[in-house]
Structure 1
Amino acid sequence: MLGTAAPPLVRADAPPELIAVVSELLAKDPHARPADAATVAQRLDTLRRQAVPPEEPAAPSTVDASGAPPAFDDFARATPPPSPTAPLPHGKPILVFGPKAPSWRTGRKALLSAAAGVVALLAAAGAVLLVSQPDELADPTPPAQTATAGPAPSPTPAGRLELADPTDRGDVVELSWRSSEPMDFAVVVAAEGERAKVLFVQRNTSHRVPVDPVRRYCFRIQGTDGTHVVESEAKPIRGARCVT
């Protein structure tokens, strides 16, 4: 939940279309934001396709009209074989980290990947902590698993995420958490009588959330390492009941 309007983004290494998408995600007015995570993902996919240059067609080989091989010329200059072209990458990690300054095209793809990480967190938290009853704040229910033949593969550990008990300051709640692995985080806030809100806080491990002084709330932290999404246990304040 944004208390004030986000400052305008100024990035010379980012395309205007990407800046527009991120600005809409950070808009203070909820009606100015994209309708859902699928809409954002579609726009980012369009930008990603535009960022990949088309492959140049191979130069046509010249063949004698008669079909006969060319005459031997021992004074002809040998034509060096063309240099092999490195294949274009078929995928990028969701988030790219490192001290090396990226080029314009690399920086554009890195920003698209980071924005995709935001979309992953928003999609994972879109239905989290919805209010179901006046005295209960609902927690997400895991989807039913479809039975398949053969043993299921072992899941890859994605780290642990632990949210400390919230500190209620009346109109502000202070949250802090810790994780076993470096991650980017989102704070999921569910207020009594409202749909859950998701606040992307990057790699911070604490956040102050403005709240209504009389409403009950549930909080949850979600994190991603670029491949997996993990989440903490939900924590209530003011007697709220966070149910699954």
Structure 2
Amino acid sequence: MSIESSGAVGDLRLLAEGPTAKVYAGRLVDDGRAVAIKMFADGFDADTTAWLDRERKALDALREVRPILPVDAVIKHRDGRSGVRMELCRGSVAGLFDSGVALSLRDVLAIGSAIATALAAAHRADILHGGVTPHNVLYRRSGEFVLADFGLALRRRFPRDPMHAVAYTAPETLREDTISAASDLYGLGAILHTALTGAPPFPHRTGQQPGERILQVLREPVPPIRASGVPAELSDVVGRLLAKDPADRPQDAAMLMTLFARIQRATGSGAIEPGNDSGEADDEEDEPAAEFDDFAEVAQHQPPTAGHAPPVAAGHAPPPVSGHVPPLAAGHAPPAAEPVTPGRTLVHTFGGESKPGKRPHNRRRTGILIGAGVVVLGLTAVPLFIGSGEPVEQAESAPTAVAAPPPQQPADPKPDVNLEVAPPEDRGDQVQLTWRADGDLDFAVVVAGERIDTMVLVANRDRTKVVPVDPTRRYCFQVRATEAGKHIYTSDPIPIRGARCNL
């Protein structure tokens, strides 16, 4: 384990707060350099620290690749939290996308070239990004675009809600949590699509349910880009990057670098310099905002404006300046963090399947879509009732993912698919579920546990599912199915260990 020590960070102020971390701007006490500190809500366990260290060492060897923004230090706070320190950038491409207006071809090629260059170098070093979204494409004060937040160690330790970046997430990642070089390139294609058209491949529609949008990503083709001024060669490569099958996408980011350079030469396009055309550092009062993929819903991701401080999440006052906030010292030893015990909760169990010692390609976690409301089939959560009938965990019902037909259009008759679930096989820390049904159906399993948030595990076309469980808790299960989104079928709730289930 290698934890750098490069002095304390002072003058801290909160930039953004997301579901897994908070980002602060600060300055190194030693030399006054502006830095970003990304602090997570908990400490890094030993496996995460070792995995992160391997990723950092591989990226450190690529520091000459300017479009890669590496982690400069691992931070351990005295309260037990862990975080990372990196260069503070001026803003993100997400801020440039906020207007909903397509960018110029010159801008699009500059963004695409930077991402492709970063991915090509990282993939050669056997490092995946795992979350290529507009929020992770930042730009320095000089205008250079960089790709931040590389690696899988922290993504596995602190899993995000898949819905926050569903428009930029590859179908195989949504379906099976497969992360690969091909899924990184899908993210690049989605960013290019947004930059060229002003909207992501599958923009959110008013009234659209989460599951319906996920089904779009999984099944619907992305229409080809026919915008004026977009070269056919660029439109074609974006379409191939967004292919549903990873094998149909371009397999080499270096090839994309060559393509973008060729289009730049043919069109006379150059690099853009957002926010600071001179490339010189701004005054301290115009310190930039750092944006990462945890913060897609914080402060609306407005691009920084000269003379104004970066936005702070509503309801969260920024911390006091130096002298009132304990400095974050890299290498400062915290109290021993509580270890992550496999099986204590389902979230830990799912996150613990990926071992840092293995190659990160095509990693899978059972049940990627965790939490009611983030489901492929729009499945309803099952509250768990035990003993006296008092609810132990009353989860809210997730909205239906398949939109109901308009009133003037009669619904197709709902055929009987004979969905039947066999008695569960309780193995202590796992439960084997098996079911049968007629027809070509997609399946998912609703899991409601005692004092555990209800979740949904996607089974695709399989008719069996092994569910990791806590040996000490009671559970209810329900199998749900859909036929091309036309109808939803549900089994009766199935209890184990004396649980009482109620819809």
TM-score by length of 2: 0.28
Structure 1's 219 and 138: CA in aligned 2 closer, same or farther, altered over 3 A? farther
2:223 match: 52
Report if the CA contact (8 A) 1:172-1:208 is conserved. yes
> Equivalents in 1 of 2:419, 2:428: separation in Å?
26
- Which of residues 219, 226, 241 in structure 1 aligns to 2:500? 241
Cα deviation digits, residues 184-216 of structure 1 (max 9, x gap):
221211110111121112222112222111210
Report if the CA contact (8 A) 2:383-2:501 is conserved. no
Report if the CA contact (8 A) 1:160-1:230 is conserved. no
Larger-Rg structure: 1
Report if the CA contact (8 A) 1:18-1:47 is conserved. no
Q: Is 2:129 the counterpart of 1:129?
A: no
SS class of match (1:241): strand
1:205 match: 463
Moved more, 155-164 or 206-215: 155-164
Report if the CA contact (8 A) 1:166-1:176 is conserved. yes
Report if the CA contact (8 A) 2:477-2:495 is conserved. yes
TM-superposed CA distance for 1:17, in Å, is 10
1:165 match: 423
Report if the CA contact (8 A) 1:235-1:242 is conserved. yes
Structure 1's 155 and 214: CA in aligned 2 closer, same or farther, altered over 3 A? same
SS class of match (1:55): coil
TM-superposed CA distance for 1:122, in Å, is 3.7
Structure 1's 227 and 17: CA in aligned 2 closer, same or farther, altered over 3 A? farther
1:99 match: none
> Equivalents in 2 of 1:132, 1:227: separation in Å?
30
- The structure with the greater share of residues assigned to helix is 2
Report if the CA contact (8 A) 1:190-1:219 is conserved. yes
Superposition pairs for residues 139-158 of structure 1, below 5 Å? 153=411, 155-157=413-415
Structure 1's 225 and 158: CA in aligned 2 closer, same or farther, altered over 3 A? farther
SS class of match (1:165): coil
- Which of residues 174, 189, 203 in structure 1 aligns to 2:447? 189
> Equivalents in 1 of 2:129, 2:239: separation in Å?
14
> Equivalents in 2 of 1:193, 1:131: separation in Å?
9
> Equivalents in 2 of 1:242, 1:124: separation in Å?
19
Report if the CA contact (8 A) 2:385-2:500 is conserved. no
Superposition pairs for residues 8-87 of structure 1, below 5 Å? 28-29=156-157, 31-34=158-161, 37=163, 39=164, 43=168, 46-48=200-202, 51-55=222-226
Report if the CA contact (8 A) 1:131-1:190 is conserved. yes
TM-superposed CA distance for 1:139, in Å, is 8.7
Aligned residue pairs total 171
Report if the CA contact (8 A) 2:441-2:483 is conserved. yes
Report if the CA contact (8 A) 1:166-1:173 is conserved. yes
1:179 match: 437
Moved over 3 A (4+): 16-21, 39-45, 48-51, 54-57, 103-112, 118-123, 130-143, 148-156
> Equivalents in 1 of 2:418, 2:484: separation in Å?
15
Where does structure 1 lack aligned partners over 5 or more consecutive residues? 6-15, 58-102, 113-117
> Equivalents in 1 of 2:407, 2:460: separation in Å?
40
TM-score by length of 1: 0.51
2:318 match: none
- Which of residues 463, 470, 477 in structure 2 aligns to 1:219? 477
Structure 1's 227 and 196: CA in aligned 2 closer, same or farther, altered over 3 A? same
Structure 1's 28 and 239: CA in aligned 2 closer, same or farther, altered over 3 A? farther
Cα deviation digits, residues 44-95 of structure 1 (max 9, x gap):
78234794223377xxxxxxxxxxxxxxxxxxxxxxxxxxxxxxxxxxxxxx
What letter matches 2:498 in structure 1?
A: G
TM-superposed CA distance for 1:224, in Å, is 2.5
Structure 1's 18 and 163: CA in aligned 2 closer, same or farther, altered over 3 A? farther
> Equivalents in 2 of 1:47, 1:151: separation in Å?
28
> Equivalents in 1 of 2:239, 2:466: separation in Å?
36
> Equivalents in 1 of 2:428, 2:416: separation in Å?
35
> Equivalents in 1 of 2:484, 2:407: separation in Å?
30
TM-superposed CA distance for 1:156, in Å, is 3.5
Superposition pairs for residues 96-111 of structure 1, below 5 Å? 105=239, 108-110=242-244
Structure 1's 139 and 166: CA in aligned 2 closer, same or farther, altered over 3 A? farther
